[in-house]
Amino acid sequence: MRSYYSARELRVFDYLPETYLVPSQVNFELHPQFKAFKQACKPGQLWIFKPGECTNRGHGIRVFNDYEKLKQHMMEFCRGQQSRRGQSRYRHCIIQKYIKQPLLINKRKFDIRVFALFVCHAETGLIRGYFYDEGYLRTSSKDFNVDKWDNRLIHLTNDAVQKHSTDYGKYESANKISYLDFDKHLLRERNVSFLSTIVPKIKQQVADVFDATGRSLYRPDRNSEGGSRCESASEYNAFEILGFDFMLDHKLRLKLIEVNTNPCLDTPCMLLQRIIPQMLDQTLKLAVDPFLQASEHQYYMTQDLTVSEMRFTQVYQDSMDLARRD
């Protein structure tokens, strides 16, 4: 992402929080990324530590206000992850600048879950990325307080963490808010439309991620530094649903905080009972139906037939041949 944005004379950390990707090896302190973090780390800042791959649901995530404590945690984490063969199960750790002043909704923190789809189609020789135009907000059930940075129930808004709160579901069903309700809220509070101002920015950032990484998703074996393996893409006919997590800060600046290859598809409330099956159904229409068609012509017919009801829009296209040569 860094080279993608700098090639366009843009600053990567305007789009994602300042992030350091450090191999989870015992002598991580010698790695340039950890050294750069050490240099950047100043008193009064908060940093969030996350395991790099093969994890989601808040596992192993902690917020720190102190360099030494973070380093200590990382040492223990790397040691604890050693497999029987002495290899760490996580290949990287992520150290990311914590967004200290997030936009709040009714005094509580939230993040935005967005779906995208990556499809490789052997018959056309194309790899495509799609953006799904409806996501949802995930709220915390406790009032935000930056001084209580070590309280996961205040600071981590994913369901896996929030469902352990005694206040889970107290303010919103399953702590979820629809795009439409948030749009009304933001218009009322800040005179800004979420749907027509922020969602297009989200869509552009999803397109940027596909542009920057699409070829390496198609060739997972070539994806050396830090990207998680997208197993299904090792075959030509393949698809993967991706879950993008975004946050807004108090100045409505949008930041991408992570991309999941295994997004949660649980349906704990009516909102998700509508969004998730609809998104899965459209995924199958785009990603699986064409494989069952006899010809390229029929493939496009399938796309035309569903276009009016489609909530996925294509934001990226590349050729398998170019990706193979890359």
Ligand X SMILES: Nc1ncnc2c1ncn2[C@@H]1O[C@H](COP(=O)(O)OP(=O)(O)O)[C@@H](O)[C@H]1O
Segment contacting ligand X (CB under 6 A): 32-40, 171-179, 224-232, 255-263? 255-263
Is 98 one of the binding residues for ligand X (CB under 6 A)? yes
Per-residue binding string, Mg ion, 27-66, x by CB under 5 A, is: ----------------------------------------
In which region does residue 139 sit, left (phi positive, over 0), alpha (psi from -120 to 50) or beta (all else)?
beta
What does the angle CA 237 – CA 242 – CA 247 come to, to the nearest 5 degrees?
Answer: 160
Is 103 one of the binding residues for ligand X (CB under 6 A)? no
DSSP code for 167: T
What does the angle CA 307 – CA 311 – CA 312 come to, to the nearest 5 degrees?
Answer: 85
What does the angle CA 60 – CA 61 – CA 65 come to, to the nearest 5 degrees?
Answer: 130
Residue closest to Mg ion (Cβ): 245
Question: By CB under 5 A, what part of segment 240-279 binds Mg ion?
Answer: 245
Binding partner at 134 among ligand X, Mg ion, none, C-beta below 5 to 8 Å by kind = none
Look at the alpha carbons of 220, 1, 115, 322 in this order and tell me if their dihedral is positive or negative. Answer: negative
Is 96 one of the binding residues for ligand X (CB under 6 A)? yes
Is 159 one of the binding residues for Mg ion (CB under 5 A)? no
Is 70 one of the binding residues for ligand X (CB under 6 A)? no
Binding partner at 320 among ligand X, Mg ion, none, C-beta below 5 to 8 Å by kind = none
Shortest distance (Å) from residue 120 CB to ligand X: 24
Identified binder of ligand X from the candidate list 23, 58, 135, 263, rule CB under 6 A: 58
Shortest distance (Å) from residue 275 CB to ligand X: 17
Alpha helices by DSSP H, the chain: 2-7, 32-40, 67-80, 152-155, 159-162, 179-190, 199-218, 270-287, 289-292, 296-306, 320-325
For ligand X, the binding residues (CB under 6 A) are 17, 48, 50, 56-58, 61, 96, 98-99, 111, 156-158, 245, 247, 257-258, 260
